[in-house]
């Protein structure tokens, strides 16, 4: 039996979906080759170019979640025998390396401690030792809450003649992702994070150099379904049938992207940062610390250490059952040790921060955790008044 549960989605995704986007999903379904739907695809492309800050012609939404975007970029850029350097500092760097190995690429994983970010010199040293076709980097590592600076690394990657592939699944729409300014060659994201759209589509964008690599392939793209050499013809002027697009998800994405543009990129980034700052002040006031490298914490995904003596799973269950608040647990080496608190898109509000802190304090009291009751709320109020 289906129940109408209402949740406050403050995990690593999906995020809360605005009523406008939900209403768009309910619009009448039309054919995927209908001229009106073709106009919708054009609007989506234009708004994705705005959001990615790019003029790339191949900018579109793949059918599938963020992992489909990752696979799209990897399988189109790489063929058997090609070499890729994947920078791994969490789960999603590992996933990129796994995907690349499955399409026959020669994968080198440059690994550092989880929660840390790469020093550009680490990339420089790795590229000085071997020639790579592609360098893969996670901008916002969802498993650790760490933000990797991209621009300086991009210059290094291009100086060594490689293409730069960037995972922006969690960051797009919540912080600066400047595809053209940072000279990113291939970038992918997901609809369910800071765009506040249901999961189901994955925005991708390819630079002219990345398109050239696709066009100069000696072998077919490993995945028929994700082959951009065919899909680009459906999104382009030819409108050649490839697969049945998820019509209603496209309606939803169009509405979500329209809301991004209405708010403005800079204002949207600032909203995410302000709410992160308020939450951080509240958590630190009750002795809860971030696990990401200091100064590189993500504004939309707050990964914090579970206090000693506190049961991770019990607290998360209580937050969900008693308050309807969903947060995420740790992945991989962080399992049972980290809470991942999302402030993404429509869920990034001051009211959600205050609600969460009040609920968390009550859960911690029941866990016999020692702290000054009310301290998180007081600190958050003080931070919000600055």
Give the predicted TM-score (pTM) of the model: 0.97
Q: Which architecture, in CATH terms, is 264-384? A: Alpha-Beta Complex (3.90)
Here the tokens at position 277 are 């700052």
pLDDT value for 2 = 61
Whole-angstrom Cα distance, residue 139 to residue 155? 15
Here the tokens at position 233 are 């013809």
Q: Which residue ranges make up each domain of the chain?
A: 19-262, 264-384
H or E segment and range at residue 385: none
Report pLDDT digits (tens) over 54-102. 999 999 999 999 999 999 999 999 999 999 999 999 999 999 999 999 9
Go through the chain and tell me how many residues it has. 386
Q: What are 108's strand-pairing partners?
A: 85
Query: Parallel, antiparallel, or unpaired: how do β-strands 134-138 and 163-167 relate?
Result: parallel
The residue written with tokens 């800079």 in the block is 266
19-262: which CATH topology?
3.40.640
| Three-state secondary structure call for residue 312 | helix
Residues of the chain with pLDDT under 50: none
pLDDT value for 6 = 85
- Closest by Cα among 195, 136, 198 to 169: 195
Cα 115 to Cα 146, 235, 272, 352: the distances in Å are 6, 38, 20, 25
- Closest by Cα among 139, 74, 117, 102 to 291: 117
Query: Phi first, then psi: what are they for 338, rounded to 5°?
Result: -135, 140
Here the tokens at position 110 are 């440059």
């Amino acid at each position: 039996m289906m129940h109408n549960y209402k949740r406050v989605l403050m995990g690593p995704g999906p995020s809360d979906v605005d009523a406008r986007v939900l209403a768009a999903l309910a619009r009448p379904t039309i054919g995927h080759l209908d001229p009106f739907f073709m106009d919708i695809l054009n609007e989506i492309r234009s708004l994705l170019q705005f959001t990615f800050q790019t003029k790339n012609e191949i900018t579109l939404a793949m059918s599938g979640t963020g992992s489909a975007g990752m696979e799209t970029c990897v399988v189109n850029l790489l063929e058997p025998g090609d070499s890729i350097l994947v920078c791994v500092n969490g789960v999603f760097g590992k996933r990129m390396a796994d995907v690349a190995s499955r399409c026959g690429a020669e994968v080198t994983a440059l690994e550092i401690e989880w929660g840390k970010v790469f020093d550009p010199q680490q990339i420089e040293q790795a590229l000085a030792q071997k020639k790579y076709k592609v360098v893969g980097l996670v901008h916002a590592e969802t498993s650790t809450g760490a933000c990797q600076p991209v621009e300086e690394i991009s210059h290094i990657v291009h100086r060594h003649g490689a293409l730069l592939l960037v995972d922006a699944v969690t960051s797009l729409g919540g912080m600066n992702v400047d595809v053209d300014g940072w000279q990113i060659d291939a970038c992918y994201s997901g609809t369910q994070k800071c765009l506040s759209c249901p999961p189901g589509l994955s925005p991708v964008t390819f630079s002219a150099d990345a398109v050239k690599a696709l066009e100069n392939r000696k072998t077919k793209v490993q995945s028929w379904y994700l082959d951009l050499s065919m899909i680009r013809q459906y999104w382009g002027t030819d409108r050649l049938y490839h697969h049945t697009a998820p019509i209603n998800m496209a309606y939803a994405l169009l509405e979500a992207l329209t809301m991004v543009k209405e708010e403005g990129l800079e204002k949207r980034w600032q909203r995410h940062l302000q709410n992160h700052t308020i939450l951080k002040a509240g958590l630190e006031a009750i002795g809860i610390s971030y696990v990401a490298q200091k100064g590189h914490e993500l504004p939309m995904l707050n990964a914090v250490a579970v206090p000693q003596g506190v049961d991770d799973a019990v607290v998360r269950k209580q937050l969900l059952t008693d308050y309807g608040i969903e947060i995420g647990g740790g992945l991989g080496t962080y399992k049972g040790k980290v809470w991942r608190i999302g402030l993404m898109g429509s869920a990034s509000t001051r009211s959600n921060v205050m609600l969460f802190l009040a609920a968390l304090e009550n859960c911690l009291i029941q866990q016999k955790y020692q702290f000054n009751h009310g301290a998180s709320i007081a600190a958050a109020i003080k931070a919000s008044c600055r």
